[in-house]
Amino acid sequence: MKRRSRLRLTPAGTAVLVGSILLAAIGLVSGYREFAVVAAAGVVVLLIAVVLPRVTSAIEFERQDVPHFVARGSVVAVALHTRVEHTAPPTRIIDQLAGLAVPIDLPQLSPDRDTVARYRIQALQRGVHHLGPLLEERSDPFALATRTVRHDVIDEVLVHPYVHRLRLPDSGSRMRQARAIVPRFSEDPLADFRSLREYVVGDDSRLVHWASTAKTGTLMVRDHFELRRTTRTVVLETLDRSANDALFEDAVELAASIVCESLEQELQVVMRTRDRENPGRLAFVRHRQEALELFTRVQRTTPDDTLPAAQLRLQGDSGDQIFLVTGADSPLVTELAGNVLIARRLVVVRLHDGSTPLRRLPVRHIDVTSAEQFVARWNQRPGNL
């Protein structure tokens, strides 16, 4: 574990130093030795203050059971284990996460036992953050100098966006079932039993219908057709000029909420972003954590780091519904709304700050100023845009 130390004078220490210099100068000019003696005493006290914080025992730190994946706004509980070779006086430790610092006052530490400090720190910002480094602060009895030691005890913490509870409509499911009944032989639990037929080489033996086989004397298997599940595609606009930082964070929350709610309804979901570093996969989302990790890492992007609309692959069968979550100034809205095949399935969630009027869109859309406003309006009349 690397340590780096820095020594600084406190305001009181700075005052003693300046006062000693002034008294020494007055003593030299006036010839009064008393001023020089007082100045020398001040310098001696400062030297003691500088040396004392360095002679205490080094402390070893280790965090245990730090959660790797937490929601924005949640409180992270930390257990910090400390060890010393020799007795160490009371010390102040500062831990930090995404710009938020938490001071912890440690008692006197003894080498014959480990001391565990337990504290909490709130995860206020979405993203990939590091818990740490730890800052150890020691001072002298006169509070004239403070020595700060940086301990590179660092743990990665993924802070995922807050997930709102949504009530999504099931109209897409009926649409899919009406147009997409596919005859096939399937063990899919979503498949529906249709009829019996004679066994052919290559059929799965688990599909054999033994009761009918016994009656007819011919090996019979179950014939199924499969009802495809509703599919949704959720697209997050990341172009930096489409929304400011605050609105973008709301957009991330809404995109994550739509994906997670769809997964809870056991729907098939594809999630895409225009962040070239974190575009998402073309395949269906496998589980909730996969979705949250993508929305944890995604960032606003410059035009050079933004995927073109063509690379989102929305032209084919990209779902019964396509949700585009974006700011008010996104050129992607116009591009997708102008595509006839996409427009009939497109739902635009447009976040804005209310400073300028919004132009009307030729597709279904909902305009809101915050994630909370969207959730309230959506849950009041689910799917009625």
Q: What is the pLDDT of residues 243-254, one digit of tens each?
A: 999 999 999 999
Packing angle of the helix pair 11-30, 33-51 (nearest 10 deg)? 150
Q: CB-based contacts of 294: which residues, under 8 Å, 6+ apart?
A: 271, 273, 278, 280
pLDDT band with cut points at 50, 70 and 90 for residue 381 = low
Q: For 85, how many CA atoms within 13 A lie in the half-sphere containing its CB?
A: 4
Sort 97 into a burial class: Cβ within 10 Å, 0-12 / 13-18 / 19+: buried
Report the topology of domain 231-380.
Answer: Rossmann fold (3.40.50)
Q: Is the pLDDT of residue 293 over 60?
A: yes
Sort 3 into a burial class: Cβ within 10 Å, 0-12 / 13-18 / 19+: middle
**pLDDT, tens digit, 9 for 90 and up, residues 318-367:** 568 899 999 998 999 999 999 888 998 999 999 999 888 898 899 999 99
How many residues in the chain? 385
**Average pLDDT over the chain, rounded to an integer:** 85
**pLDDT, tens digit, 9 for 90 and up, residues 34-71:** 888 888 898 888 888 888 766 566 889 999 989 999 99
**pLDDT, tens digit, 9 for 90 and up, residues 1-38:** 566 778 888 888 899 889 989 988 988 888 888 888 88
Nearest to 117 by CA among 58, 70, 63, 57: 63
| Residue 93, pLDDT score | 93
**pLDDT, tens digit, 9 for 90 and up, residues 104-126:** 999 988 988 889 999 999 999 99
Q: Which helix (H) or strand (E) holds 71?
A: strand 69-71
Q: Are 134 and 93 in contact (CB under 8 A)?
A: yes
Answer with the residue of higher pLDDT: 351 or 189.
Answer: 351
DSSP string for residues in 82-117: EEESS-B--EEEEEEETTEEEEEEE--B-TTS-EEE
**pLDDT, tens digit, 9 for 90 and up, residues 225-245:** 444 567 899 999 999 999 999
pLDDT band with cut points at 50, 70 and 90 for residue 213 = confident
Report the topology of domain 56-160.
Answer: Immunoglobulin-like (2.60.40)
Neighbours of 382 (CB within 10 A): 13
| Residue 203, pLDDT score | 72
Q: What is the arithmetic mean of pLDDT over 308-316?
A: 83
Q: Is the pLDDT of residue 184 over 50?
A: no
User: Rounded to whole angstroms, how far apart are CA atoms 355 and 345?
Assistant: 29
The whole-model pTM stands at: 0.75
**Which structure tokens are listed for 15?**
């005052």
| Residue 3, pLDDT score | 67
| Residue 45, pLDDT score | 87
pLDDT band with cut points at 50, 70 and 90 for residue 265 = confident
| Residue 385, pLDDT score | 46
Nearest to 259 by CA among 233, 230, 229: 233
User: Rounded to whole angstroms, how far apart are CA atoms 241 and 26?
Assistant: 62
User: Rounded to whole angstroms, how far apart are CA atoms 270 and 214?
Assistant: 45
